[in-house]
Amino acid sequence: MNGKLFLFCVCIMVFLNIETFPQTDVNSFNLMPAPVKISYSEGKYRITKDFTVAIKGNSSERLYNASARTVQRLSGRTGLFFPEFSGAKSDNASSASMIIETDKTGALVLNEDESYSLDVSAQNVSLKAKTDIGALRGLETLLQLLGADENGYFFPTVKIEDSPRFPWRGLMIDASRHFMPVEVIKRNIDGLAAVKMNVLHLHLSDNQGVRVESKIYPQLQKLASDGNYYTQEQIKEIVAYAAERGIRVIPEFDIPWHSTAWFAALPELASGSGPYKIERKWGVFDPVFNPSKDATYEFFDKFFGEMTALFPDEYFHIGGDEGTKVEWTANKDIQEFMKKNNLSGIHAMHSYFNLRILKVLTKYNKKMIGWDEILMPEMPTSIVIQSWRGQKSLFESAKKGYMGILSNGYYIDLIQPTDFHYLNDPLPDTIKLTAEEKSRILGGEATMWAELVTPETVDSRIWPRTAAIAERFWSPSSVKDVKSMYARLDRVSVQLEELGLTHIKNQEMMLRRLTNNNDTKALKTLVDVIEPVKLYTRHSLGVKYTSYSPYTRVVDAALPDAKIARDFRNDVDDYLLSSKNNTEELNKLKDQLLIWKNNDAELQKVIKKSPILNEISDLSKELTEVSEIGLQAIDMIINKKKPEANWFIVQMGTLKKDGSISFGQSELMIVTAVEKLFAAANNFGQN
């Protein structure tokens, strides 16, 4: 492997690109992730109703099906009545509009070749790849290339050479805290495939539930799942569905902690004396498997025997995070066991446990992956570390010889803006690691923890932000223009809807319910400029969330990285960077602020009819007040009137009663922009 040299070449090519044609052109292709190399010559391949596809070379059933789905999606977007959804599998392809050619069927393993090249001429389309998986990636690129003009649909005449930067590009879905039915998983697999991700990591057990059927231990699904679990048939269905899309499925059973639910079925394996019930609250809890009992390892030997047979991937995730010492300290047997085995302290005991679990996994031909905490000197370097703690921890692992993937910075449950995740690089250019150490950084995973999401809202937390994360994992590190990312993200987001994803459409549905079937317009106007509070703040605002809580409030309908608010902030920035004499731009800002200012009057009428909205009544009023301040600031700018000393502080002081403007666990996302307008009035106005 010569990873360093390869990366160097990549950068050159990208720079060549940006030189070759204007930035706007690159954006107009709307590709996400951006390909390694793209060249464009003015021209169009026209798509007609006679569009056909032929597959040459080593065609797989998977490629044939993917090609059929591609043609079906093209038909859906264009309304063209194609003769069929896919062409002949034969080599007799001279007359086909598009020819796909692959050398071999790809394996669903780490480091499989996913490269492809796509060549669109005015006459036909050619897609070549070493593996059918590479061809699948190319088909998604082709779908993103679809353009339209007054004469119909076309692909621009481009030549693309593409391959991923990292071999491990994933999304973790927590199906334990809130169970996610098969259809949620399937549509998200389609979403992952659309943005060239290749790993779905399923977090299948936690304090709140064990989510896979066991034939050997049926008490698990009976007593530890509330009836919400995947049958073994459904697991096979998910794994096959993912494999059809070139995506590996990594199961995670989080042990020895995060395990209360197991003990509702198997109390004898716990370290404490119980009694244990499925946990209904969120947080870090003490229940932990008893590492001193042979029965524990006998259980895992049988249970993992069953599970490893269901999940064909070579990796198997054992969690291992967030240990507490309470139960191990209180249990005399365990204390004695530790003494007898020279295990000094919780870390040594955890390490002992992991080594025995490693033996079980090795027996079943699986490699171990776990969170940072499983990294201990005793562990062999064959394990993979998933870092929730951060890059520092990841790089230290790499130096010690361990492979790792980064999840810190990709915690999409924390509702941070897309660019925050986008600019978080698993392997920043500045990092001081040897080439060999760098090669141990395999990629990363976005993590969708599910305490505060349900099947109704989960897509809106995953998408579209995960598309930008996918670009970070696939595209060269030099691709990091935030403006370009956002422009392409808007488009990809809508394309993702054709796969059944609900990240856009469920919001209006939730607003209809929230307004009690009244007009949703005023509520939408507010929701467009708010976001849920960030990080774990929702858990510390008075409400104690549990499995039984409603996740149907305004804060749940509010989206991360609210576009309308972001656009306004950008408009203000653009204005402030401009000549400042742009009254047209100022008037546009005024018009927007006026709409917001007047919104509360309408919204209050709806709130009166729908008590669930009471909690955002004050937030709605604040929008009016903040908008009024913004309008006054603009008037001062226009009239070149410097504000009174302390004017802004006094104005805002009446709002920020608690240091921030948030009600109903949501926050107003235009406040910083208004602050900037004020600063502008203050700096540039004349008294």
> Per rule CB under 8 A, is residue 283 in the interface with its own copies?
no
Between 612 and 638, name the residue whose CB sits nearer to its own copies. Answer: 612
Taking contact as CB under 8 A, which single stretch among the options 165-173, 463-471, 545-553, 654-662 is the one that binds its own copies? 545-553
> Per rule CB under 8 A, is residue 19 in the interface with its own copies?
no
State the Cα torsion 245-248-253-255 to the nearest 10°.
-150
> Per rule CB under 8 A, is residue 612 in the interface with its own copies?
yes
> Per rule CB under 8 A, is residue 524 in the interface with its own copies?
no
Q: Tell me how far CA of residue 687 lies from CA of 398, 581, 636, 675, in angstroms.
A: 60, 18, 10, 19
Kindly determine how many residues on this chain lie close enough to bind its own copies according to the rule CB under 8 A. 61
Taking CB under 8 A as the rule, which mask of x and - marks residues 485-504 in contact with its own copies?
-----xx--x--xx-x-x-x
Instruction: Provide the greatest CA pair distance for the chain.
Output: 82
List, in sequence order, the alpha helices (H) in 579-670: 583-609, 617-638, 647-653
> Per rule CB under 8 A, is residue 508 in the interface with its own copies?
yes
Between 186 and 642, name the residue whose CB sits nearer to its own copies. Answer: 186
| Nearest distance, CB of residue 298 and its own copies, angstroms | 29
Between 75 and 121, name the residue whose CB sits nearer to its own copies. Answer: 75
Burial of 27 (0-12, 13-18, 19+ CB in 10 A): middle
What distance in Å separates the CA atoms of residue 126 and residue 622, rounded to the nearest whole number?
Answer: 56
> Per rule CB under 8 A, is residue 512 in the interface with its own copies?
yes
> Per rule CB under 8 A, is residue 82 in the interface with its own copies?
yes
Query: CA angle, 87 as apex, 81 and 90 as ends, to 5°?
Result: 165
> Per rule CB under 8 A, is residue 611 in the interface with its own copies?
yes
> Per rule CB under 8 A, is residue 550 in the interface with its own copies?
yes
SS3 166: coil
| Nearest distance, CB of residue 614 and its own copies, angstroms | 9
> Per rule CB under 8 A, is residue 543 in the interface with its own copies?
yes
Centroid of chain to Cα 62: 25
Question: Do 146 and 74 contact (CB within 8 A), yes or no?
Answer: yes
Q: Could you please report the per-residue DSSP string of 506-539?
A: HHHHHHHHHTTTS--HHHHHHHTTEEE--TTGGG
Catalytic residues: 322
> Per rule CB under 8 A, is residue 519 in the interface with its own copies?
no
Between 335 and 552, name the residue whose CB sits nearer to its own copies. Answer: 552
| Nearest distance, CB of residue 308 and its own copies, angstroms | 21
> Per rule CB under 8 A, is residue 420 in the interface with its own copies?
no
Taking contact as CB under 8 A, which single stretch among the options 82-90, 250-258, 460-468, 524-532 is the one that binds its own copies? 82-90
> Per rule CB under 8 A, is residue 608 in the interface with its own copies?
yes
553 forms beta bridges with none
| Among 22, 76, 283, 653, contact with its own copies (rule: CB under 8 A) | 76
> Per rule CB under 8 A, is residue 150 in the interface with its own copies?
yes
Between 359 and 544, name the residue whose CB sits nearer to its own copies. Answer: 544
Taking contact as CB under 8 A, which single stretch among the options 144-152, 344-352, 423-431, 676-684 is the one that binds its own copies? 144-152
Which residues between 232 and 271 bind its own copies (CB under 8 A)? 233-234, 237
- The b-or-e profile of 569-583 (16+ CB within 10 A means b, else e) is beebeebbeeeeeee
| Nearest distance, CB of residue 686 and its own copies, angstroms | 40
Taking contact as CB under 8 A, which single stretch among the options 5-13, 248-256, 551-559, 621-629 is the one that binds its own copies? 551-559
Mode of pairing for the β-strands spanning 152-162 and 116-120 = antiparallel
Burial of 161 (0-12, 13-18, 19+ CB in 10 A): middle
Centroid of chain to Cα 416: 11
Sheet strands side by side (includes 662-663) = 530-532, 666-668, 662-663
Determine the angle formed by the axes of helices 563-577 and 583-609, rounding to 10 degrees: 160
| Among 2, 23, 84, 401, contact with its own copies (rule: CB under 8 A) | 84
Per the listing, tokens 């998933």 go with 386
Which residues contact its own copies (rule: CB under 8 A)? 65, 72, 75-85, 148-153, 181-183, 227, 231, 233-234, 237, 280, 455-456, 490-491, 494, 497-498, 500, 502, 504-506, 508-509, 512-513, 516-517, 543-544, 546, 548-553, 608-612, 615
